[in-house]
């Protein structure tokens, strides 16, 4: 059952990433909108995922590997970072799961668009700024 759930979650993530990539400079805001819209459409699924300590841990480890792959690709041209990329991946995934859990517990009262902006600023931009403190806050994916 856990393998099936993990496969389902991976499929959802890959589909969301594919759609978000079409948003160009607004990629991560669109990704946030899609994430929180998906949670709003499937609250029972996400409560189940987050409520199972064992499955949540498996999902977290799986997501950390996916995020680390993205970080390695996007950080290739910036040189060394003051924070190891695997630590940044742990932070990003833990933060996202925490935001989802907080939002669900609050009965999704905060609008999806605001949650997307919070995700982009706190999870994506803040982490990237911490990884590249000597560079201007110009995200590499915004210049491609």
56-72 pLDDT tens trace: 999 999 999 999 998 99
- Residues 140 and 74 sit within 8 Å (Cβ to Cβ): yes
Q: What angle do CA 44, 110, 16 make, to 5 degrees?
A: 60
| Statement: residue 144 has pLDDT above 50 | no
How far is CA 27 from each of CA 72, 86, 87, 111, rounded to the nearest angstrom? 18, 22, 23, 19
- Residues 50 and 64 sit within 8 Å (Cβ to Cβ): no
Structure tokens at 99: 């935001």
| Statement: residue 143 has pLDDT above 60 | no
Residue 141: pLDDT band (50, 70, 90) is: very low
Question: For position 61, what pLDDT does the model report?
Answer: 94
Instruction: Please give the average per-residue pLDDT across 3-10, as a whole number.
Output: 81
Q: What angle do CA 76, 11, 49 make, to 5 degrees?
A: 100
74-105 pLDDT tens trace: 888 777 899 999 999 999 999 999 999 999 99
Question: pTM for this one?
Answer: 0.86
Question: For position 79, what pLDDT does the model report?
Answer: 79
């Amino acid at each position: 059952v856990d393998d099936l759930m993990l496969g389902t979650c991976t499929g959802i993530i890959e589909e969301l990433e594919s759609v978000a990539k079409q948003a160009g400079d607004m990629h991560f805001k669109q990704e946030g909108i899609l994430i929180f819209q998906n949670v709003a459409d499937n609250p029972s699924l996400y409560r189940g995922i987050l409520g199972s300590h064992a499955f949540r841990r498996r999902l977290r480890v799986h997501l950390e590997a996916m995020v680390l792959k993205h970080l390695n690709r996007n950080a290739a041209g910036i040189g060394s970072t003051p924070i190891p990329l695997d630590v940044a991946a742990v932070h990003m995934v833990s933060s996202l799961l925490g935001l989802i859990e907080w939002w669900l517990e609050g009965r999704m009262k905060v609008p999806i668009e605001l949650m997307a902006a919070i995700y982009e600023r706190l999870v994506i931009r803040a982490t990237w700024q911490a990884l590249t403190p000597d560079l201007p806050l110009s995200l590499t994916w915004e210049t491609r």
